[in-house]
């Protein structure tokens, strides 16, 4: 290798690149000159064998050529692309409104889809959508909901307690948003609050440390169980797209009195199936009339106002709707699962 040889290669390569009219041929040229076993790599590998005095000058000359050819190839490639684009445009075969090939569109998570649907339903009934933080005070999560520190109801909500300026928890349910709504909004009020909740669970197919609930709270004058039942039936009609019979069983939750478990007629069968475990009823949501202590804790006078509340398990509802048999799939992030929705 000598300076004349390098100049000759430059001239030849420039001519070939300029004459190249095909992207694949350009790639071949790039490989031939700049590839791992290309002309220039061969020269550079030979430099240590040259007399020391010639090495710097020739090394620099080869590197300069490498840079020049690299730039020429990039420019030629862009020019070829532009030519192809203009050719297609002129022929009318290029549709700029088509999505680029190979780009996959994402979609909303099934939980988000259902949440939005249920939100729309309640908004159509005059509810507003409220939000609360996932890190809550012990007061909002428990005490204001009529669950004092030594209350056994705390045992059923295995809690992640946090170190903080005061007693803080990862909220174990969306019910603390009831307190936030009561203290911020003046009754009459209708609020729903969807969101993530956390429990220190041993996980299995029906238990997960993180899941989703949707809280509902209505406070007005003379609110009764009849109002509660009507709202729940409207909700079920919206979700299952047909009238669904419901029944109430007594249920204990410190923040409601009376408290109920609301069951719905199994929407999937007429004579028993695996979803309803052959009972024809599915346990759908706990609910009740707001306990006076909760109203008081939220600064609302229980002699003047009354209300109902409910806690819908959004994760459970998604599972019911799509026949998902393991709650851990919901937040597992496995695309093979998520792409089915
Ligand atoms: N927060 C309760 C839980 O997660 C569920 C619940 C029960 C919510 C009754 C309510 C209610 O609003 O009235 O276990």
Q: Which atom of ligand 1 is nearest to the CA of 175?
A: 1
What pLDDT, in 10s, does the model give residues 54-69?
999 999 999 999 999 9
pLDDT of res. 267: 83
* pTM of this structure: 0.71
DSSP string for 156-184 = GS---EE-SSS-EEE-SSSTHHHHHHHHH
Q: Which atom of ligand 1 is nearest to the CA of 157?
A: 14
C-beta of 171 in contact with ligand 1 (< 6 A): no
C-beta of 310 in contact with ligand 1 (< 6 A): yes
Q: For 5, list phi and psi in degrees, rounded to 5.
A: -60, -40
User: Residue with the nearest Cα to atom 6 of ligand 1?
Assistant: 311
pLDDT of res. 41: 94
pLDDT of res. 327: 93
Query: Which helix H or strand E contains 193, and what residues bound it?
Result: strand 189-198
Whose tokens are 């949440």? That residue is 115
Query: How many CB atoms within 10 Å of residue 78?
Result: 10
Burial of 139 (0-12, 13-18, 19+ CB in 10 A): middle
Is residue 146 helix, strand or coil?
A: coil
Residues of the chain with pLDDT under 70: none
C-beta of 110 in contact with ligand 1 (< 6 A): no
What pLDDT, in 10s, does the model give residues 67-113?
999 999 999 999 999 998 888 888 888 787 888 888 778 899 999 99
Is residue 43 helix, strand or coil?
A: helix
Rounded-to-integer distance, Cα 29 and Cα 207, Å? 60
pLDDT of res. 174: 98
CA of 52 to the centre of ligand 1 (A): 84
């Amino acid at each position: 290798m000598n300076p004349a040889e390098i100049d000759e290669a430059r001239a030849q390569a420039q001519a070939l690149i300029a004459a190249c009219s095909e992207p694949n041929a350009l790639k071949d040229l790039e490989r031939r000159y700049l590839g791992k076993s290309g002309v220039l790599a061969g020269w550079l590998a030979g430099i240590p064998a040259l007399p020391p005095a010639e090495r710097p000058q020739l090394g620099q000359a080869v590197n300069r050529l490498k840079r020049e050819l690299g730039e020429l190839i990039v420019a030629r490639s862009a020019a070829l692309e532009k030519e192809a684009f203009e050719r297609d445009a002129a022929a009318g075969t290029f549709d700029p409104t088509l999505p680029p090939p190979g780009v996959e569109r994402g979609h909303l998570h099934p939980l988000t889809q259902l949440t939005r649907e249920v939100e729309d339903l309640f908004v159509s009934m005059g509810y507003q959508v409220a939000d609360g933080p996932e890190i809550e005070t012990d007061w909002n999560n428990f005490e204001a909901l009529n669950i004092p520190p030594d209350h056994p109801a705390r045992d059923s909500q295995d809690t992640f307690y946090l170190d903080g300026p005061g007693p803080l928890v990862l909220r174990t349910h969306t019910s603390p948003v009831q307190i936030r709504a009561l203290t911020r909004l003046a009754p009459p009020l209708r609020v729903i609050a969807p969101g993530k909740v956390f429990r220190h669970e041993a996980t299995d197919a029906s238990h997960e440390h993180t899941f989703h609930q949707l809280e509902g709270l209505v406070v007005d004058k003379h609110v009764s169980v009849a109002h509660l039942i009507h709202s729940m039936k409207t909700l079920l009609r919206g979700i299952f797209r047909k009238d669904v019979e419901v029944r109430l069983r007594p249920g204990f939750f410190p923040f409601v009195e009376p408290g109920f478990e609301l069951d719905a007629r199994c929407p999937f069968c007429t004579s028993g199936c695996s979803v309803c475990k052959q009972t024809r009823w599915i346990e759908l949501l706990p609910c009740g009339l707001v306990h006076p202590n909760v109203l008081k804790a939220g600064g609302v006078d229980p002699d003047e106002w009354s209300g109902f509340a409910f806690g819908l398990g959004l994760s459970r509802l998604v599972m019911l709707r799509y026949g998902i048999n393991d709650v851990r799939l919901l937040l597992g992030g496995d695309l093979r699962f998520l792409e089915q929705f």
